[in-house]
């Protein structure tokens, strides 16, 4: 079980970065950032802030000994602004002081002047101006142009999906301190220790082997700390390196919300063609992705939107185009689902619109077009072990959904103040980094001479239970109880050149690396035990609950003895192993290949009630059949599914990111940006395990982190259905999140006299709060 | 500037010279009690929740607070309980901790101590566990990982297992210690608090302070740094034995009453039998435990919930300065955005409203982006005396639609003496539209706020008089 970590948490003993006892003489950093979304820096006056007692030093880009560049995919992002600023929140200077408070006071005294330049926040506007971070990406299969004429139904439209704040409860931060010989240790709240190491190395102009990055755990990541933990680590490292002192930088919630990127908002155009039976013949989609001021991970996110643009539907003719549009917002970044949710929301909108035109329920079209065994995805991969129809039919049968639908219709026929709506939401999500190179992991497993085990991998624990899953693998191979197995913090000196813990693949890859290491060790130990027992070889030897068995009979030897014996014979009890996910390839010119190891499927049914008087709503129930494979740890996997689902529901409903025209984030505090709370949780959340083995998964399991988030998309359409029950004049619009504001306006669109909206007598410039 | 602050921290007496405006969270964390986390520093996440026990009339009362917003002056003489103070000896887990473990109700773990602390407060605070909703006690805690489902299961199991705990406080403590829900030292807390020798002298730093500090739930969100160097007078829970009382045909509510005090008051419950229905819409449990009526009114926020509530009761406020007092109608109290008629040196003492005489009804409506634990986009309260098919008296207030809390005087005037029907209400809604001037902001567009207020006015009547008006007639 997940006991070790959870016991630390429930007793308040787990140490996050801000909880670590700092080394003596630690200094505190505060980032001074741009208040202008696009402009030239005319002057930067540090005089007054420098004169404050307790201020040690204020750094700007001029102090960077290496190169002032942190762009991962595209080299387009400075650590500290040079002559121009590109978004509000762009770091300009770093104040180092004796206390957090002094650093914060000093930042208020920095004087900066800008020459303001035009601000673009809308991706389509950026596209018109040619502000693209990478050339357009086009995925194509069949030929849509040839097919439109054969379609009985053609619908087109636009679709908007908003950004999403990660709101990891632990804000970004790092603690860096000098080691001997010009080396540096960086303790970072990052999903990607090797990414931090690379950025720090380049900023400081020193080799990677002098930078030790360590991560014990994160207080949540959700993609927000995949690439965007690096700047804060690099800034604290910069100061620690130049001052030769420990430096801690922890972002306040407000600074974190302003300076860091969010889920990419998308604006999209779609066109869908079907025959009269409801079979989808063609689908064309164009994604205008709002990447923010630099590319960050947006190109990779865009690719995943293109991969998942057809969700779990078999569509013979597809043309999907993606534009990575540069705007003057904080660089947007990875967020659980990584472009998948954005792509799926568009196809579901298209299906919904087509269903309206055909006068059928969307689930008729959804069910009819679900992927089947040996269908091909539009990127050329064959769909195998497809669980689409199986999960749909099981949900329908086990939850008796037809009865639910009947009850909903009955409710609506007798209620006028409240209306109910429902939606089915099937999903399909590919598992692997779509950048093939990143699909590798390594692990170090040490068996100590008393039989206890320590391990370390590149995986970062952020609450997803990856270490518990690794313990489960070790426990199964060595047949040891979990309390004999301990994880060490993730550290670049032990696990080098690792991929970030992301793409739902952390457990798959790192467990596989650990499995190889464990098998190697066990092989050597059993060979040694065979020798102890006077056997020719280890055939028939195994360990079970710390006993050594020969053909299932107790040999009288125990685990700790054979371990000790092996060591005395100078046989290694430790192993370092490397795993590369097999059978992956992808040609980025034709955009065809086998990018994913396997796919995760499932189907959810969502029911909502809309208060038609007030425009507020409640998600009553989410019932899903999810394709977990044979779960390595059902408690963890259920928790991941429930948590991801809620983030998906939040993204579709109340989580609203707003900027003004000047590029200023309006929802920059928890008082204005609302994530689901306890009351928001549906009264009924039932997630059933499909429990079909995954032939290529570790112990037949499947990845879990991201896929269930996309069940949340159904909430949008369930709310839309309820609104249309009240107001048949409401035209469907696809603009997530479906906030109470949009719901109320939709409920009363073309549906009441607008007298109440007459302008006021005076229009003073008042504010709220 | 510093003051001597004494309190019991878990099982240890603390006596320190501290800036009274430094917040409890910072004190705890700088003293290596790092189980209490900083998640937002504005009372919106609950990661910093601690339990505060105080002696009130020789009774020990435990409530949760957001330690990020509580100045240490306000914990002077109290018992502060952090997660570290709830851990049992010898790595034994409490049933609350075990329940979290069994349900996997903790993922990244950052919010977890706050949840454990809040759930412990349920057992320490609730009079009758059977009738209290345990979920209410964690309504100020946000978890981003679990989606709350596993936490709800963990809390539900606890309620089921222990709801038969005795009601009497001393017996309850013994029971909780026996069940390992709290450590044994809790039995000696009252004694230890009495031993602290708190000097309850007036600690006003000035006769003319920059700020009077009540529960701090607004000042310490808006300007925590400024508080550290301002002259402050701390008036939280001082010299106010009577929180809510009747006098001379009026109901008086002390300005230093917290929202919890008001909601728990027997008199208020009697006057507003339906109050429990919307009381959860006011902030969260830890905020309700600290936010005062005076603070809510003096903050003059256009969307203060308590302000809207009392405006609809046509309340007066009683201001005092030294020995002199003056009474101002709440309708006339707000002069512009965040400005009131109060002058420097004056203190808001009481809010009073006439005890209802005839057949009356009351309703409160609030809509925000997130239904709970959110600031209103628009709120409105309605007080109506309705008899023999006519409106004898009506007061409607509205928040979020004007630069200050708004009494809809024209609308109320129009409705007085009228029958309730669709035609009358349509006209009332039209008039209300002329009285307001909402602006577009993060909470909603002006157009939305106009539409919303009109719907909420209808909602008042549809809720109170469903036989007189149907939603279809409002279109």
Window A:101-130, CB contacts with B under 8 Å:
101, 104-105
In terms of domains, do B328 and B368 share one?
no
Phi/psi of residue A625, each to 5°? Answer: -110, 115
Whether B116 and B50 have beta carbons less than 8 Å apart is answered as no
Task: With respect to residue A313, please indicate whether it lies within any of the assigned structural domains.
Answer: yes
**C-beta atoms of B135 and A616 within 8 A:** no
In terms of domains, do A195 and A76 share one?
yes
In terms of domains, do A518 and A398 share one?
no
What average pLDDT does chain A have?
96
CB-nearest to B101 from A3, A614, A767 is A3
Task: With respect to residue A132, please indicate whether it lies within any of the assigned structural domains.
Answer: no
pLDDT digits (tens, 9 = 90+) for B73-82: 999 999 999 9
Cis peptide before A737 (omega within 30 of 0): yes
Alpha-carbon gap, residue B385 to A446, rounded angstroms: 78
**C-beta atoms of B108 and A169 within 8 A:** yes
Full residue range of the structural domain in which residue B463 is found: 360-474
Full residue range of the structural domain in which residue A477 is found: 440-580
Instruction: Name which of A411, A744, A367 is nearest A607 in CA terms.
Output: A411
Task: Give the residue numbers of A marked as catalytic.
Answer: 706
Phi/psi of residue A476, each to 5°? Answer: -70, -40
The whole-number pLDDT of residue A764 equals 41
A11 contacts on B by Cβ (under 8 Å)? 35, 83, 87, 93, 97
In terms of domains, do A232 and A272 share one?
no
Chosen domain end from B354, B385, B405: B354
In terms of domains, do B329 and B414 share one?
no
A757 contacts on B by Cβ (under 8 Å)? 433, 447, 450-451, 454
Task: With respect to residue B296, please indicate whether it lies within any of the assigned structural domains.
Answer: yes
3-state SS class at A767: coil
Query: Is the minimum CB–CB distance between B30 and chain A shorter than 8 Å?
Result: no
Q: What is the CATH number of the domain that holds B433?
A: 3.30.390.50
In terms of domains, do B60 and B183 share one?
yes
Q: What is the CATH number of the domain that holds B254?
A: 3.30.465.10
| One-character DSSP codes across A599-624 | EEEEEEEEEEEEETTT--EEEEEEEE
Per the structure, the count of domains in chain A is 3
pTM attached to this predicted model: 0.97
For residue B88, pLDDT beyond 80: yes
Task: With respect to residue B202, please indicate whether it lies within any of the assigned structural domains.
Answer: no
Q: What is the CATH number of the domain that holds A530?
A: 3.30.365.10
Task: With respect to residue B216, please indicate whether it lies within any of the assigned structural domains.
Answer: no
For residue A762, pLDDT beyond 70: no
In terms of domains, do B334 and B189 share one?
no
Alpha-carbon gap, residue B45 to B265, rounded angstroms: 27
Task: With respect to residue A758, please indicate whether it lies within any of the assigned structural domains.
Answer: no
For residue B199, pLDDT beyond 50: yes
In terms of domains, do B34 and B168 share one?
yes
B432 contacts on A by Cβ (under 8 Å)? 756
In terms of domains, do A399 and A518 share one?
no
pLDDT digits (tens, 9 = 90+) for B165-179: 999 999 999 999 999
Task: With respect to residue B311, please indicate whether it lies within any of the assigned structural domains.
Answer: yes
Task: With respect to residue B94, please indicate whether it lies within any of the assigned structural domains.
Answer: yes
Alpha-carbon gap, residue A75 to A301, rounded angstroms: 17
pLDDT digits (tens, 9 = 90+) for A12-22: 999 999 999 99
- Is the ipTM higher than 0.85? The answer is yes
In terms of domains, do B384 and B350 share one?
no
Alpha-carbon gap, residue A1 to A482, rounded angstroms: 7
Chosen domain end from B138, B170, B195: B195
pLDDT digits (tens, 9 = 90+) for B51-65: 999 998 888 999 999
B109 contacts on A by Cβ (under 8 Å)? 5-6, 8-10, 14, 217, 219, 463
At A363, the pLDDT band (50, 70, 90 cuts) reads very high
**C-beta atoms of A667 and B148 within 8 A:** no
Taking residues A373-379, report their average pLDDT. Answer: 98
Alpha-carbon gap, residue B244 to B255, rounded angstroms: 10
In terms of domains, do A412 and A536 share one?
no
pLDDT digits (tens, 9 = 90+) for B289-325: 999 999 999 999 999 999 999 999 999 999 999 889 9
Alpha-carbon gap, residue A251 to A232, rounded angstroms: 8
For residue A767, pLDDT beyond 60: no
In terms of domains, do A383 and A451 share one?
no
In terms of domains, do B273 and B168 share one?
no
Distance from CA of B91 to the nearest CA of A (A): 9
3-state SS class at A259: helix
Alpha-carbon gap, residue A520 to A538, rounded angstroms: 13
Distance from CA of B371 to the nearest CA of A (A): 8
Of B141-155, B227-241, B365-379, the one with minimum mean pLDDT is B227-241
3-state SS class at A1: coil
Helical axes A506-532 vs A466-478, angle rounded to 10°: 20
For residue B2, pLDDT beyond 80: yes
pLDDT digits (tens, 9 = 90+) for B15-29: 999 999 999 999 999
**C-beta atoms of A616 and B138 within 8 A:** no
Task: With respect to residue A756, please indicate whether it lies within any of the assigned structural domains.
Answer: no
Query: Is the minimum CB–CB distance between B474 and chain A shorter than 8 Å?
Result: yes
pLDDT digits (tens, 9 = 90+) for A597-644: 999 999 999 999 999 999 999 999 999 999 999 999 999 999 999 999
A5 contacts on B by Cβ (under 8 Å)? 109
The whole-number pLDDT of residue A758 equals 53
For residue B221, pLDDT beyond 90: yes
The whole-number pLDDT of residue B49 equals 98
pLDDT digits (tens, 9 = 90+) for A680-737: 999 999 999 999 999 999 999 999 999 999 999 999 999 999 999 999 999 999 999 9
**C-beta atoms of B101 and A8 within 8 A:** no
pLDDT digits (tens, 9 = 90+) for A545-562: 999 999 999 999 999 999
Most A CBs within 10 Å, among B225, B370, B443, to test the A interface: B370
pLDDT digits (tens, 9 = 90+) for A693-703: 999 999 999 99
CB-nearest to B97 from A11, A614, A672 is A11
What average pLDDT does chain B have?
93
The whole-number pLDDT of residue B358 equals 82
Task: With respect to residue A135, please indicate whether it lies within any of the assigned structural domains.
Answer: no
In terms of domains, do A517 and A413 share one?
no
In terms of domains, do B370 and B320 share one?
no
For residue A492, pLDDT beyond 80: yes
**C-beta atoms of B462 and A677 within 8 A:** no
Task: With respect to residue B407, please indicate whether it lies within any of the assigned structural domains.
Answer: yes
Task: With respect to residue A122, please indicate whether it lies within any of the assigned structural domains.
Answer: no
pLDDT digits (tens, 9 = 90+) for A261-275: 999 999 999 999 999
**C-beta atoms of A616 and B40 within 8 A:** no
Task: With respect to residue B203, please indicate whether it lies within any of the assigned structural domains.
Answer: no
Q: What single DSSP character describes residue A196?
A: H
The whole-number pLDDT of residue B377 equals 96
For residue B202, pLDDT beyond 60: no
In terms of domains, do B376 and B281 share one?
no
Whether A577 and A516 have beta carbons less than 8 Å apart is answered as yes
Q: What is the CATH number of the domain that holds B11?
A: 3.10.20.30
B221 contacts on A by Cβ (under 8 Å)? 671
Chosen domain end from B354, B379, B409: B354
Most A CBs within 10 Å, among B67, B68, B149, B466, to test the A interface: B149
In terms of domains, do B69 and B163 share one?
yes
Per the structure, the count of domains in chain B is 3
The whole-number pLDDT of residue B280 equals 86
Task: With respect to residue A674, please indicate whether it lies within any of the assigned structural domains.
Answer: yes
Of A453-457, A509-513, B88-92, B144-148, the one with minimum mean pLDDT is B88-92
In terms of domains, do A102 and A204 share one?
yes
Window B:368-407, CB contacts with A under 8 Å:
368-375, 377, 400, 402-404
**C-beta atoms of A685 and B147 within 8 A:** yes
Query: Is the minimum CB–CB distance between A749 and chain B shorter than 8 Å?
Result: no
Alpha-carbon gap, residue A315 to B350, rounded angstroms: 69
At B91, the pLDDT band (50, 70, 90 cuts) reads confident
At B208, the pLDDT band (50, 70, 90 cuts) reads confident
For residue B237, pLDDT beyond 60: yes
In terms of domains, do B284 and B386 share one?
no
pLDDT digits (tens, 9 = 90+) for B323-368: 899 999 999 999 999 999 999 889 999 999 999 988 999 999 999 9
**C-beta atoms of A752 and B472 within 8 A:** no
For residue B206, pLDDT beyond 70: no
Q: What is the CATH number of the domain that holds A65?
A: 3.90.1170.50
Distance from CA of B95 to the nearest CA of A (A): 11
In terms of domains, do A654 and A710 share one?
yes
CB count within 10 Å of CB B200 equals: 9
pLDDT digits (tens, 9 = 90+) for A64-120: 999 999 999 999 999 999 999 999 999 999 999 999 999 999 999 999 999 999 999
**C-beta atoms of B433 and A462 within 8 A:** no
SS (H, E, C) chain B: CCEEEEEEECCEEEEEEECCCCEHHHHHHHCCCCCCCCCCCCCCCCCCEEEEEEEECCEEEEEEEECCCCEHHHHCCCEEECHHHHCCCCCCCCHHHHHHHHHCCCCCCCCHHHHHHHHHHHHHHCCCHHHCCHHHHHCCCCCCCCCCHHHHHHHHHHHHHHCCCCCCHHHHHHHHHHCCCCCHHHHHHHHHHHHCCCCCCCCCCCCCCCEEECCCCCHHHHCHHHHHCCCEEECCCCCCCCCEEEECCEEEEECCCEHHHHHHCHHHHHHCCCHHHHHCCCCCHHHHHHCEHHHHHHCCCCCCHHHHHHHCCCCEEEEEECCEEEEEEHHHCEEECCEECCCCCCEEEEEEEECCCCCEEEEEEEECCCCCCCCCCEEEEEEEEEECCEEEEEEEEEECCCCCCEECHHHHHHHCCCCCCHHHHHHHHHHHHHHCCCCCECCECHHHHHHHHHHHHHHHHHHHCCCCCCHHHHC
Task: With respect to residue B79, please indicate whether it lies within any of the assigned structural domains.
Answer: yes
At A763, the pLDDT band (50, 70, 90 cuts) reads very low
In terms of domains, do B332 and B364 share one?
no
% chain A with pLDDT above 70: 98
3-state SS class at A167: coil
The whole-number pLDDT of residue A480 equals 97
Alpha-carbon gap, residue A131 to A125, rounded angstroms: 9
The whole-number pLDDT of residue A755 equals 54
For residue B278, pLDDT beyond 90: no
CB count within 10 Å of CB B426 equals: 18
Most A CBs within 10 Å, among B88, B140, B145, B463, to test the A interface: B145
For residue B269, pLDDT beyond 80: yes
Query: Is the minimum CB–CB distance between B475 and chain A shorter than 8 Å?
Result: yes
For residue A753, pLDDT beyond 70: no
Of A110-119, B235-244, B419-428, the one with minimum mean pLDDT is B235-244
3-state SS class at A323: strand
CB count within 10 Å of CB A639 equals: 26
In terms of domains, do A294 and A410 share one?
yes
CA A139 to chain centre: 23
For residue B201, pLDDT beyond 70: no
Taking residues A416-435, report their average pLDDT. Answer: 97
Task: With respect to residue A672, please indicate whether it lies within any of the assigned structural domains.
Answer: yes
Phi/psi of residue B444, each to 5°? Answer: 155, 165
Alpha-carbon gap, residue B54 to B396, rounded angstroms: 38
């Amino acid at each position: 079980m997940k006991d070790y970590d959870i016991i630390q948490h429930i007793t308040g003993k787990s140490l996050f970065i801000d909880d670590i006892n700092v080394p003596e003489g630690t200094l505190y950093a505060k980032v001074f950032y741009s208040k202008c979304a696009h402009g030239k820096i005319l002057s930067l006056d540090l005089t007054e802030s420098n004169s404050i007692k307790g201020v040690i030093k204020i750094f700007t880009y001029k102090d960077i000994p290496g190169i002032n560049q942190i762009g991962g995919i595209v080299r387009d992002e400075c650590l500290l602004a040079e002559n121009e600023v590109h978004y509000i929140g762009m770091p300009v200077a770093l104040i180092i002081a004796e206390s957090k408070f002094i650093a914060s006071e000093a930042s208020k005294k920095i004087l900066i002047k800008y020459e303001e330049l035009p601000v673009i926040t809308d991706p389509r506007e950026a596209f018109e101006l040619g502000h693209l971070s990478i050339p357009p990406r086009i995925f194509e299969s069949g030929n849509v142009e040839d097919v439109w004429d054969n379609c009985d139904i053609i619908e087109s439209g636009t679709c908007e999906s908003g950004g999403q704040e990660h709101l990891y409860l632990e804000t970004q931060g790092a603690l860096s301190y000098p080691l001997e010989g010009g080396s540096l240790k960086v303790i970072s709240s990052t999903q990607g220790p090797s990414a931090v190491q690379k950025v720090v190395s380049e900023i400081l102009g020193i080799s990677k082997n002098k930078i030790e990055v360590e991560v014990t755990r994160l207080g949540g990541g959700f993609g927000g700390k995949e690439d965007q933990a690096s700047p804060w680590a690099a800034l604290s490292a910069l100061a620690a390196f130049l001052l030769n002192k420990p430096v801690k930088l922890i972002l306040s919630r407000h600074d974190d919300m302003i300076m860091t990127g969010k889920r990419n908002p998308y604006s999209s155009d779609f066109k869908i063609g079907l025959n009269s039976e409801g079979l989808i013949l063609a689908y064309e989609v164009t994604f205008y992705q709002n990447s923010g001021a630099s590319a960050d991970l947006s190109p990779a996110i865009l690719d995943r939107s293109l991969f998942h643009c057809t969700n779990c539907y078999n569509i013979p003719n597809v043309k999907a185009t993606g534009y990575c549009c540069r705007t003057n917002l904080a660089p947007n970044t990875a967020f659980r689902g990584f472009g998948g949710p954005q792509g799926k929301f568009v196809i579901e909108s298209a299906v919904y619109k087509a269903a309206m035109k055909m006068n059928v329920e969307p689930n008729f079209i959804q069910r009819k077009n679900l992927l089947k065994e040996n269908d091909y995805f539009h990127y050329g991969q064959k769909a195998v072990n497809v669980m689409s129809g199986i999960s749909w039919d099981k949900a329908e049968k086990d939850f008796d959904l037809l009865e639910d639908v009947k009850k909903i219709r009955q409710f609506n026929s007798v209620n006028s103040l409240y209306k109910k709506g429902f939606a089915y939401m099937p999903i399909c999500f590919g598992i692997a980094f779509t950048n093939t190179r990143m699909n590798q992991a390594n692990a170090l497993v040490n068996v100590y001479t008393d039989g206890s085990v320590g391990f370390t991998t590149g995986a970062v624990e952020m609450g997803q239970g990856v270490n518990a899953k690794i313990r489960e693998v070790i426990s199964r191979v060595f047949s040891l109880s979990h309390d004999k197995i301990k994880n060490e913090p993730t550290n670049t000196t032990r696990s080098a050149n690792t991929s970030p813990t992301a793409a739902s693949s952390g457990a798959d890859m790192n467990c596989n690396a650990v499995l190889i290491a464990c098998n190697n060790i066990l092989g050597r130990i059993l060979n040694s035990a065979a020798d102890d027992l006077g056997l020719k070889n280890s055939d028939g030897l195994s360990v079970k609950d710390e006993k050594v068995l020969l053909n299932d009979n107790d040999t009288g030897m125990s685990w700790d003895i054979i371990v000790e014996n092996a060591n005395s014979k100078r046989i290694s009890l430790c192993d370092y192993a490397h795993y590369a996910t097999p059978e992956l390839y992808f040609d980025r010119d034709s955009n065809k290949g086998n990018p994913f190891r396997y796919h995760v499927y499932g189907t959810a049914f969502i029911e909502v009630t809309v208060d038609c008087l007030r425009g507020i709503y409640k998600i009553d129930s989410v019932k899903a059949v999810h394709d977990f494979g044979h779960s390595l740890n059902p408690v963890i996997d259920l928790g991941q599914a429930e948590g991801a689902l809620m983030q998906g529901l939040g993204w579709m409903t109340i989580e609203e990111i707003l900027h003004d025209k000047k590029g200023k984030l309006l929802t920059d505090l928890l008082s204005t940006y609302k994530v689901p709370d306890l009351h928001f949780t549906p009264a009924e959340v039932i997630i059933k395990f499909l429990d079909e083995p995954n032939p290529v998964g570790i112990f037949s399991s499947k990845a879990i982190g991201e896929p269930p988030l996309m069940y949340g998309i159904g909430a949008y359409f369930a709310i839309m259905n309820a609104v249309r029950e009240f107001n048949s004049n409401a035209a469907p619009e696809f603009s997530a999140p479906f906030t109470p504001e949009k719901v109320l306006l939709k409920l009363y669109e073309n549906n009441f006299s607008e007298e109440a909206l007459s302008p006021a007598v005076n229009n003073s410039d008042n504010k709220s709060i | 500037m510093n003051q001597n602050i004494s309190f019991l921290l878990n099982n240890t007496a603390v006596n320190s010279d501290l800036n009274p405006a430094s917040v409890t969270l910072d004190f705890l964390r700088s003293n290596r009690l790092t189980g209490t986390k900083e998640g937002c520093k504005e009372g919106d996440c609950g990661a910093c929740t601690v339990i505060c026990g105080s002696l009130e009339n020789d009774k020990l009362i435990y409530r949760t607070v957001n330690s990020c917003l509580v100045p240490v002056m306000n914990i002077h003489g109290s018992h502060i309980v952090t997660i570290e103070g709830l851990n049992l000896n010898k790595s034994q887990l409490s049933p609350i901790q075990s329940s979290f473990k069994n349900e996997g109700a903790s993922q990244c773990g950052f919010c977890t101590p706050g949840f454990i602390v809040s759930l412990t407060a349920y057992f320490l605070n609730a009079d009758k566990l059977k009738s209290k909703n345990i979920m209410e006690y964690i309504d100020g805690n946000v978890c981003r990982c679990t989606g709350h489902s596993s936490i709800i299961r963990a809390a539900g199991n606890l309620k089921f297992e222990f709801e038969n705990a005795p009601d009497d406080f001393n017996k309850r403590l013994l029971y909780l210690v026996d069940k390992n829900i709290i450590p044994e030292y809790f039995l000696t807390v009252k004694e230890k608090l009495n031993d602290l020798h708190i000097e309850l002298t007036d600690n006003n730093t000035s006769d003319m302070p920059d700020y009077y500090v009540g529960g701090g739930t607004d000042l310490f969100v808006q300007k925590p740094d400024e508080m550290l160097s301002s002259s402050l007078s701390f008036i939280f829970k001082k010299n106010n034995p009577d929180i809510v009382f009747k006098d001379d045909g009026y109901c008086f509510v002390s300005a230093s009453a917290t929202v919890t005090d008001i909601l728990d008051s027997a008199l208020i419950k009697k006057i507003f039998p339906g109050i429990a229905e919307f009381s959860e819409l006011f902030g969260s449990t830890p905020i309700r435990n600290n936010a005062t009526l005076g603070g809510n009114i003096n903050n003059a926020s256009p969307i203060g919930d308590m302000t809207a509530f009392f405006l609809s009761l046509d309340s007066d406020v009683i201001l005092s300065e030294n020995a002199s007092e003056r009474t101002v109608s709440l309708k006339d109290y707000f002069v512009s955005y965040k400005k009131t008629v109060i002058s420097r040196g004056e203190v808001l003492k009481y809010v009073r409203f006439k005890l209802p005489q005839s057949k009356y009804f009351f309703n409160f409506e609030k809509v925000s982006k997130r239904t709970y634990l959110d600031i209103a986009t628009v709120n409105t309260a309605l007080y109506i005396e309705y008899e023999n098919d006519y409106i004898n008296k009506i007061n409607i207030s509205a928040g979020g639609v004007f630069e200050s809390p708004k009494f809809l005087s024209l609308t109320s005037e129009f409705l007085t003496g009228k029958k309730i029907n669709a035609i009358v209400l349509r006209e009332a809604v039209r008039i209300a539209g002329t009285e307001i001037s909402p602006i577009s902001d993060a909470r909603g567009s002006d157009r939305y706020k106009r539409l919303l207020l009109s719907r909420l006015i209808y909602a008042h009547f549809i809720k109170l008089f469903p036989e007189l008006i149907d939603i279809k007639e409002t279109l």
